[in-house]
Chain A
Amino acid sequence: MKKTLTINLANQVFHIDEDAFYRLREYLDRIEAHFSDKDERSDIVSDIETRFGELFAQKISPQKQVIILQDVEEIIRIMGDPAEIGGDEQAEERDYSASASKPKRLYRDPDNRVLGGVCGGIGQYFKIDPLIVRIVFLVVFFGFGIGLLIYIILWIVVPEARTTAQKLEMRGDPVNATNIGNFVKDEFENVKKTLKGKKR
Chain B
Amino acid sequence: MINEKLLIMDPENVKAQMRKGVLEFCILSLLSKGDGYATDLLNKLKESELIVVEGTLYPLLTRQKNAGLLSYRWEESTQGPPRKYYALTDKGREVLKELQSAWKGLIDSVDSIVNQ
Which residues on A are within 8 Å of B, measured CB to CB? 10-12, 31, 35, 39-40, 43-44, 47-48, 50-51, 53-54, 57, 78-82, 84-88, 96
C-alpha gap A87/B38 in the complex (Å)? 17
B66 proximal to A (CB < 8 A): yes
Contact A12 B65 (CB under 8 A): no
Judged by DSSP, the binding face of B is: helix
Contact A57 B80 (CB under 8 A): yes
Q: Which of B38, B56, B79 touches A80 (beta carbons < 8 Å)?
A: B56
List residues 31-62 of chain B with CB under 8 A from any CB of chain A: 38-39, 52-56, 58-62
Judged by DSSP, the binding face of A is: helix
Q: Which residues of A contact B59 (CB under 8 A)?
A: 35, 40, 44, 85-88
Contact A80 B53 (CB under 8 A): yes
Q: Which residues of B contact A35 (CB under 8 A)?
A: 59
Contact B81 A79 (CB under 8 A): no
Q: Which of A10, A11, A51, A82 touches B39 (beta carbons < 8 Å)?
A: A51
Contact A47 B58 (CB under 8 A): yes
Contact A79 B66 (CB under 8 A): no
Given known pairs A39-B66, A47-B38, A47-B61, the reply for A80 and B52 (CB within 8 Å) is: yes
Contact A44 B53 (CB under 8 A): no
C-alpha gap A31/B54 in the complex (Å)? 13
Interface centre among A79, A87, A88 (most CB of B within 10 A): A87
**Shortest distance between the CB of A69 and any CB in chain B (Å):** 19
